Structure 1
């Protein structure tokens, strides 16, 4: 399957690209900074360089894809301004529409509610912290996800709370707040593995599973 990955050179995005390659997929990686492209991708990953405001570059990246994976995450720099990833998500959705790509897998936090779950102390805490301490990033995450959930695409949003460095364990709890037991920490390697696996699965179509170790 041809998969386009946005945020491909980030901490989770680069691991997701590697997982997709290991799973036998053909990958196009969209990156803003060519200096961050890992050298081992040379010859096995198609690279498209561009900003999230570059409609033509985004269109080129999505052209020919069977699925789009977004590992985009907002800047935590308190000096950052605007909502560039919301703009970029609109561009991605427009390109998917033009090229009739329906499958979208993204990432988010418990601040984003699954359509069928109940609010819990954990979701309330994460939302409160986001609104209070990182309001711009919080608004960007919610804005991106709102666009996706309202779009005519087969979306899955993978939610997690406390990503950390560490090896892939394969021990992942996936479920929904108010129904299933999920904790806080999870390795970025496990997030990448779970995200990549959704390309071949319809278990969580139009759902937002929460994951932890």
Structure 2
């Protein structure tokens, strides 16, 4: 497949790039700093700031792609907005190019995070047990509220895009190696899930490309 990867120099993005290349895919990577991908056998498109990038800048990256995969996400509260604004630019470029398949990474707590498109989400995710529901997520969501709102707004835009999208919502990320043994749940978080590796998130992003049943679905994932 011809794949375009956004956020290719980040934690999930680097794993995605390596795994896609190992599978023989033809990869275009969109990054701020091409030097971070020196030595990688990929076509590199530089986008200094996705939030302000116009369609003309991103069109060459997505034109002719079989799928676009985005690992964009705010690394901290100060960077909140990068996912929603960047994804909005990606969606505009994809529509202009006629490219339809999109896979994006979000996060497990987003399912219960209010957003303009979902002002009254469920108070609790059915996959979350009492420990996560009443102890962990209230603390995490209070501390990282700007980041989760950014991802929630991103999901709003993806759902309304008219494209063939899949949203992956992993739990807490680790740097452990790929296993392929993670669990997934359609439309909710994975019961009992606490951790999953960035490498396995990348593996799942590639795996859903061959699964038409994942189109227009939100999928929770955990180990």
TM range (shorter): 0.7 to 0.9
Residue 67 of structure 1 deviates from its aligned partner by 0.8
Alignment correspondent of 1:87: 85
- Greater helix percent: which structure? 2
Q: 1:178 to 1:208 in 2, by over 3 A?
A: closer
CA RMSD of aligned residues (A): 2.5
Three-state SS of the structure 1 residue aligned to 2:43 is strand
Once residues 197 and 179 of structure 1 are traced to their aligned partners in structure 2, the CA distance between those partners, rounded to angstroms, is 18
Provide the residue aligned with 1:188 in structure 2: 198
- 2:35 pairs with 1:48: no
Which residue matches 1:64?
64
**Alpha-carbon offset, residue 34 of structure 1:** 2.1
Is 1:119 aligned to residue 125 of structure 2? yes
8-17 vs 195-204, which moves further: 195-204
Q: Deviations over 1:51-76 (max 9, x none)?
A: 21222322221122121100011131
| Alpha carbons 1:119, 1:177 under 8 Å: kept | no
Cα distance in 2 between the residues matched to 1:17 and 1:29: 8
Q: Which residue of 2 aligns with 1:209?
A: 219
Deviation at 1:35, TM superposition (A): 2.9
2:158 aligns to what SS in structure 1? helix
Q: TM-score, length-normalised on structure 2?
A: 0.83
Matches within 5 A, 1:140-179: 140-176=150-186
Deviation at 1:162, TM superposition (A): 0.9
Q: What is the match of residue 115 of structure 2?
A: none
Aligned length: 207
User: In 2, are the aligned partners of 1:108 and 1:141 still within 8 Å (CA)?
Assistant: yes
Shift of 1:130: 4.8
Quote the offset at 1:151 in angstroms. 1.3
Identify the residue that residue 133 of structure 1 maps to in structure 2. Answer: 143
Unaligned runs of at least 5 residues, structure 2: 113-117
8 A Cα contact 1:173 1:211, kept in partner? yes
Residue 89 of structure 2 aligns to a residue whose secondary structure is helix
Query: When the two structures are superposed, what TM-score results if normalisation uses the length of structure 1?
Result: 0.86
